[in-house]
Chain A
C-alpha cells in the first residue's frame, strides 16, 4: 500500500498552486484533504508525477454566512462544516456533512475535494444540486463561477479546465418556510452510499412554492430530478403527489449493478429515500427539529 514515487509541492497561495499545476501539466494532481486521492495512489489506480498540496493555503477553509448567500471555502472539512452555525441553521447541510464516512475521513476530507472528484457517490455534489450551488474556481485564465448543474460532466470528469482549482462553494440561504433533508442508505460508515437523495422544499400556506430533488450514487453523475420536482411544485404534498415524485425520481436515475446492489434494488431505494426525504423536509419546513442520519444495513 505505497504510492508510486512523486514530487511533492506545497503551495502557499492559490496563484502559486495554479502556477505549479500549469507548469507541471498533465502529471500533476491537487492534494487537499487526501481522503480520495491517497487511497487512489496507494492502490496505484493513478501514478501522478507531482502532487500540489493546497491544504495549507490560508483562509480557504472559511465558512461565511453573508446574509442571502452562504460561502464555504474549498478547504473546509466535512467536520468543520458539520459543526458550524450554518449546519445548525440549515439541517440538510448537517445531514450531509455529518453523514460522510467516519470521523477520520470527516476530519480531513474537504468539500472542495468532494466536488472536484466528479464521483457520483460523493455527497457534496448531490447536496449542492439540491441547494442550487455554485462553484468558484481559479485557473491560469483567472477566476470564474460555475453552476453545479452540469459541473460533473461524466464519471470522474468535471468542467474544471487544466490547472484550474476550486476555491469555494456558495449557495443561497434557503428562505423562511423552507426545509430540506439529505437521506442516505449505505452498508457501513466507511462505504459510499448505495443511494443518496437530497430534497429541499419551500412551503407557503401548505403549498409547495419550490422544490429541489437531487440523487447521488444513482448514475454516472449526480442527477437533478427536475421531473420529480415538478410533481411537487404547486401542490400540497398529498400522498399521490409524493408517489409520483418518487416515481419521477426513479425515472430520472440511471443506476447500475454493483456490490452495493442491483439496479432494481437501487431504484426501490431511490423511491423510498425520496419519500423519506420529502417527509423530513416537510416537517423541517414547518419548523420541526428532525434528527436524520445515514441508515446502515
Chain B
C-alpha cells in the first residue's frame, strides 16, 4: 500500500471537530493570573508620566509592569538589519515614547481578565503628542523621526542590478514607463489571536504554552532578551488556530507574560489578545510602492529589462525586517525570462503597526508588481493577455535566474492552457465582446505566480553580512517507544497544515504499515529536542524540509531495525522485509515464517538487552535526523546565489464584471491551477489552495488596513476590517498539473502560501474591464468604494507612457 499521494483523512480533524483541540487560550488553572496590556491610543507621542498607583491598589491586582521595569529587566531585541538598525531599541513595552497606535505601554496581571482590564484603565498615562508620519515617501524625508538614535527612518537601501540594463534599454523597440504602483497593507487574520501562558518559576525555568509558529527562530531572539540561556526556556504549542506568518513574532509580547509571572512569584500568567488588539498591534503585511518603473521590450513584446524604485513600508519596528527587502529576490523575474534588472530598494519605518511575514511574504508584493508590468505592457502594446504571457514565460528547467536562483521545474504554458480550458476562455472572450457592446465592464485576467519554498537563510547575509544565519534545516525524531509503538516528533509546530497526517503517510510507506499505527506528536515542544534554529512552519516548506527530515529519520531507524532483526533472526539485512503480521508491525525474513515484531525489538533495546551483543551497541531505535538542503552562502557583493529550493506555481484566471452602479467587481468565473510537484495529500493541498485563494480575494475586495494622517487605524474591528467569509467567496474551479521537483527526495515542492495569486489575477481582470475607460490599475485593493473613485478619475495618461522606435537602423 502506498499512502503518499492519497487523500488520507486528516488525523487532526477528529479532535478539532470534537472540540478536543488544545489552543493556548484553553489552558486554565484557578491560580492563574491574567494579563491586560494597556496600549497607546496615539501613533506618535512622548510618554511624560505613568501613574499606576490606582491600578496597583485595585483588589485582585498582582502586579503592574511599565517601561521602566522592562528597561531594567530586558535586553532590547536583536535587530537583523545593518546600521542604522542596530540603534533601534525594541522592547516589549514602550519606554520613552510610543510610535504606533496600539503599542503596549503597561501591563497588569490580576486574578481575572476583567479585573486586569479594570486596573489597566486606571493607569494614568500623560502623553505629549508628536507629529506622526504614515506615508513612506514622507517618512524617508526624515523630518519626523521614529527612532531618534538611528537618525533616519530608512532601515535599508541597496540596488539589485543584474545583466546589462542600459544596453537592453538602448536596444529596446518599446519602453513602457509606469510612474507608480502600490501594494496595499492587509494581513491574513488567523481565527485564533495571539495567546500564551507563561510560568517563570523560582528555579529560573521559564515555560510557555503559546502559539508561536516559528519557535526555533523565536527562542534565539527571546531568550537573550530575557537574559536567559535557551536551555532555561521551554516553548510548547499544541494546536494553533492559523498563523499565516503573523504569529512568527508574537514572542515580543510573550515576554510580558513571562516578566509578570516572575514578578508575581512564579504564578502562571495568561495573555490573550482581543481582535482589536490583534488588528492594531499584532502584525500587518508589507506595504510597497513601486516608483518610476521602466520596462524595455523587443519588437515582439518580449520583455528584456526592468528598472524600478521600490519603497517598502515596515511600520514602526523592523523586527523580522528588513528581511523582506531580500526575500522578494527569490522570485526576481517571476515566471518570465527577463535577464536584466535594476531594482533600487529602500525600506522605511512609519508610525503604523509593524509588519510581519504574512502569507506570500515579500514575494507576493514583487510578483504582483511583475504581473502588473506584464499586464500593463500587454494592454499598451495591444498584445492579448495570454499571448503576452506565452511570449515571456520561462520554458526550460532547471532555470537559473539572473540572480542565481534555480527554478527547479514547471510548465507555465500547460497551466495556462489548462486554466483557459477550465474557465472556457474562448466563450468568455465572445461574451466580453457582447458585454462591451452593451456598455458593460467585463474583464478577463490572468495571474501567474510562484510560491518559493524552503528558503536559504544565507540570503539574510545579503542584507547584513554579519548575520549568523545560512542554509535551512528541519528535525525529526522517530523512535519505537517502550511498547514498540512508532512515535514521531517534529520541530515544525504546525498551525493547521496537517503535518500529523502527511508525516504518517510518509512513515507508513517507509515501514509498510498503516498510518493509524503511527503517532505523530501534536504541536511543538522544545523539551523533545526535535528542533533546530530554523524549525517552524513558514515559507511553504513542510513537504520538502519537514518530510525530508521524516524520510531521513525513517532511513536511519530502518537501518537499525534491520541490524537488530538480522541479529535475532539470523538473517541478512537484504532478506528482511517490513510489514504487518499477526502481532502487529514486524520485520520478517522473506519466504519464511520467521519474524520479529516491534514490541520485541523495543523490548530488546530498552528492557531486555542482555540478549544483545556489542555489535548492536549503536542500535537505539530512537533516531534524530536533521535535514539540510544543499545551499551555499550567496555572494553578498553580487547578491547572487540560490535562495530557495523549490518553486511551486499557481495560474489563476478570473472573469470580473464591474457593476457600474454599485462599483462592485463581481467575479463571474474563477479558475485556479496549482503545481506543487508531487502531491503528498491532495485533500490537504486543495485546502491550502482554497485558503490561499480566499485570502487573496479577501485582500483584493475587502481587506485593507487604512490609517488616517495622524496614524489612527480606521479598520480596527471586524466590522471595519471585513475579512472574507464564505458569503463573499465566489465559486472557484480548481485544477492541477504535476511537475516533480528534481531537488526534493519525493518530487514535492513546498506549497501553502500561494503567491498571492488572486491579487495579480483580479487586478488583471479589473484592468481588462477598465482599460477602455482610460484607467490603469495601479493598486492591489479594489473594494467597491475604491472602484467608484477610480471610475471617476481616469489615470492612464498620467500613469503610463510608451516610447516606441524602430531598432536595428544602426
Contacts and interface: CB of A to CB of B under 8 A. Distances in A.
A and B are partners in one complex rather than unrelated chains: yes
Interface of A: 1-2, 4-5, 43-44, 185, 187-192, 259-262, 264-265, 268-269, 271-272, 295-297
Given A1-B274, A268-B663, A269-B662, A189 B118 contact: no
Interface string B780-801: 0001110011000000000000
Interface in B479-534: none
Interface stretch (B342-350, B377-385, B576-584, B714-722): B714-722
Contact of B722 (A43, A187, A261, A262): A187
A2 B714 CA distance: 22
A98 to B, nearest CB: 13
A2 B117 contact: yes
B660 to A, nearest CB: 9
B718 A2 contact: no
Given A5-B118, A188-B722, A295-B662, 18 more contacts: A5-B114, A185-B662, A188-B702, A188-B728, A189-B725, A190-B718, A192-B719, A259-B714, A260-B785, A261-B784, A265-B784, A268-B663, A271-B661, A272-B661, A295-B664, A296-B727, A296-B728, A297-B722
Given A260-B785, A265-B784, A297 B664 contact: yes
Contacts of A2: 113-114, 117-118
A231 B718 CA distance: 39
B728 A265 contact: no
Contacts of B727: 188-189, 296
Contact of A259 (B121, B720, B725): B720
A271 B727 CA distance: 25
Contacts of A188: 702, 722-725, 727-728
B786 to A, nearest CB: 9
Nearest to A269: B662
A297 B784 contact: yes
Contacts of B783: 187, 297
Contacts of A189: 725, 727
Among all A-B residue pairs, the 9 with the closest Cβ atoms: A261-B785, A272-B661, A2-B114, A188-B722, A187-B722, A265-B788, A191-B719, A1-B274, A259-B720
Given A2-B117, A4-B118, A272-B662, A264 B718 contact: no
A106 B276 CA distance: 23
B386 interface: no
Nearest to B114: A2
Contacts of B728: 188, 296-297
B137 interface: no
Nearest to A271: B661
A192 B719 CA distance: 8
Contacts of A262: 785, 788-789
Interface of B: 113-114, 117-118, 121, 274, 276, 661-664, 701-702, 706, 714-715, 718-720, 722-725, 727-728, 783-785, 788-789
Nearest to A195: B662
Main secondary structure of the interface of B (DSSP, over half): loop
Given A187-B722, A188-B725, A297-B728, A259 B117 contact: no
11 contacts: A4-B118, A185-B784, A188-B725, A188-B727, A259-B706, A259-B714, A261-B788, A265-B784, A268-B663, A268-B788, A296-B727
A189 B728 CA distance: 9
B301 to A, nearest CB: 35
Nearest to A261: B785
A260 B114 CA distance: 32
Contacts of A191: 719-720, 722
Contacts of A264: 788
B705 to A, nearest CB: 11
B701 A297 contact: yes
Q: Which of A185, A259, A264, A296 has the most CB of B within 10 A?
A: A259
A74 to B, nearest CB: 25
B730 to A, nearest CB: 11
Contacts of B784: 185, 261, 265, 297
B119 to A, nearest CB: 11
Nearest to A275: B661
A189 B701 CA distance: 14
Nearest to B113: A2
B719 A190 contact: yes
Contacts of A259: 706, 714-715, 720
A152 B661 CA distance: 30
Q: Which of A262, A295, A296 has the most CB of B within 10 A?
A: A296
Nearest to A42: B274
A106 to B, nearest CB: 14
A190 B728 CA distance: 12
B702 to A, nearest CB: 6
A297 B702 contact: yes
A296 B665 CA distance: 11
A190 B722 CA distance: 8
A194 B26 CA distance: 37
Contacts of A1: 117, 274
A265 B121 contact: no
Q: Which of B114, B706, B722, B723 has the most CB of A within 10 A?
A: B722
A2 B121 CA distance: 11
Contacts of B785: 260-262, 265
Nearest to A187: B722
B307 to A, nearest CB: 36
Contacts of B663: 265, 268
Q: Which of B662, B714, B789 has the most CB of A within 10 A?
A: B662
Contacts of B276: 43
Contacts of B788: 261-262, 264-265, 268
